[in-house]
Amino acid sequence: MNTSPHSYVTGLTCSGCGKKYSANEIHTFCPDCQSTLLVQYDLEAAKQHIDRDEVSRRSKGMWRWHEILPVIEAKNQVSLGEGDTALLPLDNLGREHNLRHLYVKEESSNPTGSFKARGLSAAVSKAKELGIKKVIIPTAGNAGGAMASYAARAGMQSMIYMPKDTPRANIEESRIVGAEVILIDGLISDAAGLAGIKAREEGWFDVSTFKEPYRTEGKKIMGYELAEQFGWELPEVIIYPTGGGTGLVGMWKAFQEMETLGWLKNNKRPRMVSVQAAGCAPVPRAFHKKAAFCDFWTNAATVASGLRVPKSFADHLILNSLYDSHGTAVAVEDEALMQAQKELAMAEGIFAAPEGAATFAALKELIAQKWVDPDERIVLFNTGSGLKYLDRT
Partner 1 sequence: MGSNILYIEDNPDNMMLVKRALESHGYTLLEAEDGLSGVEAAEAHEVDLILLDINLPDIDGYEVARRLRASERHNLTYVPIIAITANALKGDAEKALSAGCDVYMSKPINIRELWARVEAFVPAPEPKTK
By CB under 8 A, name the binding residues for partner 1: 16-17, 29, 32-35, 184-187, 189-190, 192-194, 196-197, 211, 292-293, 295-296, 298-299, 310-311, 313, 316
Q: How far apart are CA 328 and CA 322, in angstroms?
A: 6
Rounded to 5 degrees, what angle do the CA atoms 314, 320, 325 make? 140
- Give 101-121 as a DSSP string: EEEEEEGGGSGGGBTHHHHHH
For residues 24 and 34, which CB has a smaller minimum distance to partner 1 in the complex?
A: 34
Radius of gyration of the chain from its Cα atoms, rounded to whole angstroms: 19
Given the complex with partner 1, which of 219 and 316 has the nearer CB atom? 316
What minimum distance in Å lies between the beta carbon of 315 and partner 1? Answer: 8
Question: How far apart are alpha carbons 138 and 6 in whole angstroms?
Answer: 31
Centre a 10 Å sphere on the Cβ of residue 160 and count the other Cβ atoms it contains: 27
Please work out, in degrees rounded to the nearest 5, the angle formed at the alpha carbon of residue 143 by the alpha carbons of 79 and 169: 100
Per the rule left: phi > 0, alpha: psi between -120 and 50, beta: everything else, 141 is left
Minimum gap (Å) between residue 321 Cβ and partner 1: 16
CB of 9: closest distance to partner 1 in angstroms? 24
Q: How far apart are CA 238 and CA 229, in angstroms?
A: 14
| Distance of closest approach, residue 16 Cβ to partner 1, in angstroms | 5
- Between 29 and 63, CB nearer to partner 1: 29
Q: Shortest gap between Cβ of 45 and partner 1 (angstroms)?
A: 31
CB 353 within 8 A of CB 385: yes
Per-residue burial over 362-392, b if 16 or more Cβ lie within 10 Å, else e, is: bbbbbbeeebbeeebbbbbbbbbbbebbeeb
Judge contact between 370 and 386, C-beta under 8 A: no
Identity of the residue, 309 or 378, whose beta carbon is nearer to partner 1 in the bound complex = 309
- Which of residues 196 and 213 has its CB atom nearest to partner 1 in the complex? 196
Looking at beta carbons only, is 86 or 292 nearer to partner 1?
Answer: 292
Q: For residues 185 and 375, which CB has a smaller minimum distance to partner 1 in the complex? A: 185
For the beta carbon of residue 172, count every other beta carbon within 10 angstroms. Answer: 12
User: Least CB distance from residue 33 to partner 1, whole Å?
Assistant: 4
Output 108 or 189, the one with its CB closest to partner 1: 189
Q: How far is the CB of 344 from partner 1 (least distance, A)?
A: 33
Nearer to partner 1, 316 or 377 (CB): 316
CA distance linking residue 279 with residue 277, whole number of Å: 5
Q: How far is CA 249 from the centre of its chain?
A: 8
Q: How far is the CB of 316 from partner 1 (least distance, A)?
A: 7
Q: Whats the size of the chain, residue-wise?
A: 393
SS3 content of the chain, % helix, strand, coil (to 5): 45, 20, 40
Cα separation, 209 vs 218, in Å, equals 12
Q: How far is the CB of 30 from partner 1 (least distance, A)?
A: 9
